[in-house]
Structure 1
């Protein structure tokens, strides 16, 4: 029964009696003085999770289906798969810097070591994992690339499919159209890892520092469950937080790359004081400064305008619509059911201006783009978010004078640290042997 290989499915005792294969069964909830959920690792008191039947349930992972004290997590030990031929069609060349990181990560995996690829935005992290993916698959292994962001998974899927065209790659996220099937290569959101148990020989976590993964103990628990006992991690990040680097120091090989593949430096943000940014949509006078800079950027590139909230984005979008033709501008957020279509249309150049929330802070690439952050001092814009947003500019192709503007009315630690990190990475890149 391949559907159980490396999966954990919630079943009752009666459900298990209908299975015609060997399987492993674990209690869904471990009950002692407190209750521990075996699916998400949460600990909680009996008082907050008692059902009218006097059974208990886990309130923390209920979005994946209710698990109670009468439930079991059923899985099946995966069969050993022999080495095989893997079709690999990528014809491009890695830069010397990328090649060194790629070789190191492959060597680490072969020596049963975990890796962190700490590489600046636009350095080509995806291309640097091709070698270790190919090796894992060729040796009968099972691999997954997981990201906290649905949009990152959607971006990765066609790229991986193109490079490994015969792998029948599976794409899984909350509302995806695909039904689970057993396969060797999976791309999924980190939340989908709750459904796996001892499944992967290689688990690549892209954007390890991104919300909602960062700081979520339940997602970290799911990730550990999804890895085989002898499996290995490869983490990818352009902005790993200090606490993560400290926690990985003894157990991970850290492969650092400060150079973008085209060898141009990261674009350093321009800090522009804007006293009325919060209320600039209220009058033509208050919006005047924004319109001036926006038109200036549009002379060379299209523009992404990052906003601190959906409410603010919609207000700003409506006001700016008074100055531009409706066909030139659009807005998008995580609540937008047409967000994938809008991003594709922006990528094709059908819009000149796209207002967005932090949904587009990472994992997406646009040609000929400049960036504005409205209210860079807002607390939603952490150091890593600011660095990631700045990294949307000049990612590929010829140089097109892309700029990054931080509009702010209060200096914050995040703004200072983001600018310092970008400048520091540029210095490291300049000093690198590969430049």
Structure 2
């Protein structure tokens, strides 16, 4: 019973007897009005394409999370409407917030107390995770239930040990598609946004890290699931360094918008160097087209390890193989969403086991490495949006002493996204300088 609080299950009608009305509530899985709408993911069900025998219908949009049909009910445990009871929550984080971070952290707490949702627009490396800790502590202390969620598995994996360290006495659950840990009720949950489909009015506070990241951005199913998982009286906190204009327009009247242009160490963002590379797409094919890339890698390795972003897995694999031939002692590896051991490779890069790590956009956000320079090869490729380029540039000089980290955008066309990314980084640096000069 306890483990089903806030959790919704798809239950066939004939099995409802196992969920007595004294303990459980249920609602239709698919509303059979003129729209035929799925209540788990919010999608409109096509009557002809999604029909089964005996006038039964199914939802194809969220079937990867378990089959849902119109002859089932969505069942969830009854939750008492009694006021939350306050409790002691140990806050075991040993770090210190900067003056700017403290101001933002207090404002987030104030907004939560006033039942106002917040968009925190803060540059990469500003310490957004640390700034939300006081609000998490406040919500838990007031008897609330908190979820920190992100569209990216790697971001969730990175968040988990940091949250556990800050709240060592709390049971913290980490959920994502490939996780082996079974669901259990906890007051503090970290999960991917896809996991929101399994919750219903469960959380008093949901914090969405990297709200603009794929696959959440522009995905109505995940956006519906997020709102469904929030209690009617709950609040949201959106975290991003690169809010899309559509998001800013959506929240301008209902959210407080807090902005921070300063990184934790108060050094400016590293501004990209845009370098012409006419035939970058052939760099993995021949030595002639490879040498420009290779010379730049050797130059950057004098000061730092190098993280190379590639626009596709196939291109990345070819370029990785050619680079590995030049490094007789090893130290060159690649990682992508298809890599079964990508978590281990990311950890090895943190430990500086590789000189060069090639990656797709899977590492564009949410991960931190010390002593890194970045190359984006083919920065004009459509996969590199303005937001993606800003996030990638933000991987450099996130922590530790300054090591002359650089950001290289190799391109053969200076696209609007490249120009906008460079302008946004420069604009944030100018705003940060003005804040520091006050």
Give the TM-score normalised by the residue count of structure 1. 0.98
Q: Which residue does the alignment assign to 1:409?
A: 412
Structure 2 counterparts to residues 357-372 of structure 1, below 5 A: 357-372=360-375
Q: Match of 1:370, SS?
A: strand
Shift of residue 434, structure 1, vs aligned partner? 7.2
Distance 1:275 1:10, change over 3 A: same
Rounded Cα–Cα distance in structure 2 between residues aligned with 1:200 and 1:394: 35
Of 305, 309, 312, the match for 1:309? 312
Of 367, 383, 387, the match for 1:384? 387
Deviation sequence 1:221-250 (CA, Å, 0-9, x none):
001100001000010000001111111110
- Work out whether residues 193 and 216 of structure 2, in 8 Å CA contact, stay in contact via their aligned partners in 1: yes
Rounded Cα–Cα distance in structure 1 between residues aligned with 2:95 and 2:393: 26
Structure 2 counterparts to residues 190-201 of structure 1, below 5 A: 190-201=193-204
Shift of residue 144, structure 1, vs aligned partner? 0.3
Rounded Cα–Cα distance in structure 2 between residues aligned with 1:326 and 1:198: 54
- Work out whether residues 196 and 226 of structure 1, in 8 Å CA contact, stay in contact via their aligned partners in 2: yes
Shift of residue 78, structure 1, vs aligned partner? 2.5
1:155 aligned to 2:163?
no
Shift of residue 44, structure 1, vs aligned partner? 2.8
Rounded Cα–Cα distance in structure 1 between residues aligned with 2:185 and 2:433: 46
Q: Match of 1:281, SS?
A: coil
Which has the higher mean CA deviation after the structures are superposed, 81-90 or 412-421? 81-90
- Work out whether residues 306 and 357 of structure 1, in 8 Å CA contact, stay in contact via their aligned partners in 2: yes
- Work out whether residues 96 and 434 of structure 1, in 8 Å CA contact, stay in contact via their aligned partners in 2: no
1:24 aligned to 2:25?
yes
Q: Which residue does the alignment assign to 1:68?
A: 69
Rounded Cα–Cα distance in structure 1 between residues aligned with 2:193 and 2:79: 21
Shift of residue 100, structure 1, vs aligned partner? 0.6
- Work out whether residues 155 and 367 of structure 2, in 8 Å CA contact, stay in contact via their aligned partners in 1: yes
1:59 aligned to 2:84?
no
Structure 2 counterparts to residues 133-282 of structure 1, below 5 A: 133-282=136-285
Q: Match of 1:201, SS?
A: strand
Of 130, 134, 146, the match for 1:131? 134
Which has the higher mean CA deviation after the structures are superposed, 18-27 or 256-265? 18-27
Distance 1:346 1:104, change over 3 A: same
Q: Which residue does the alignment assign to 1:327?
A: 330
Deviation sequence 1:314-368 (CA, Å, 0-9, x none):
0110111121136210000000000000000111011100000000000000000
Gap regions ≥5 residues in structure 1: none
- Work out whether residues 324 and 330 of structure 2, in 8 Å CA contact, stay in contact via their aligned partners in 1: no
Deviation sequence 1:366-392 (CA, Å, 0-9, x none):
000000001000000000000000000
Rounded Cα–Cα distance in structure 1 between residues aligned with 2:164 and 2:246: 34
Rounded Cα–Cα distance in structure 2 between residues aligned with 1:15 and 1:83: 37
Distance 1:433 1:299, change over 3 A: closer
Which has the higher mean CA deviation after the structures are superposed, 228-237 or 90-99? 90-99
- Work out whether residues 118 and 238 of structure 2, in 8 Å CA contact, stay in contact via their aligned partners in 1: yes
Q: Match of 1:106, SS?
A: helix
Rounded Cα–Cα distance in structure 2 between residues aligned with 1:204 and 1:392: 22
Q: Which residue does the alignment assign to 1:38?
A: 39
Rounded Cα–Cα distance in structure 2 between residues aligned with 1:44 and 1:313: 39
1:344 aligned to 2:361?
no
Q: Which residue does the alignment assign to 1:85?
A: 88
Rounded Cα–Cα distance in structure 1 between residues aligned with 2:8 and 2:98: 41
Q: Match of 1:426, SS?
A: helix
Rounded Cα–Cα distance in structure 2 between residues aligned with 1:350 and 1:359: 19
Rounded Cα–Cα distance in structure 2 between residues aligned with 1:326 and 1:407: 27
Of 257, 281, 286, the match for 1:283? 286
Gap regions ≥5 residues in structure 2: none
Q: Which residue does the alignment assign to 1:399?
A: 402
Q: Match of 1:432, SS?
A: helix
Rounded Cα–Cα distance in structure 1 between residues aligned with 2:232 and 2:428: 36
Rounded Cα–Cα distance in structure 2 between residues aligned with 1:382 and 1:403: 20
Give the TM-score normalised by the residue count of structure 2. 0.98
- Work out whether residues 78 and 199 of structure 1, in 8 Å CA contact, stay in contact via their aligned partners in 2: no
- Work out whether residues 57 and 69 of structure 1, in 8 Å CA contact, stay in contact via their aligned partners in 2: yes
Shift of residue 52, structure 1, vs aligned partner? 4.1
Rounded Cα–Cα distance in structure 1 between residues aligned with 2:437 and 2:162: 26
Q: Match of 1:126, SS?
A: helix
Shift of residue 433, structure 1, vs aligned partner? 4.3
Rounded Cα–Cα distance in structure 1 between residues aligned with 2:165 and 2:356: 30
Shift of residue 13, structure 1, vs aligned partner? 1.7
Distance 1:277 1:14, change over 3 A: same
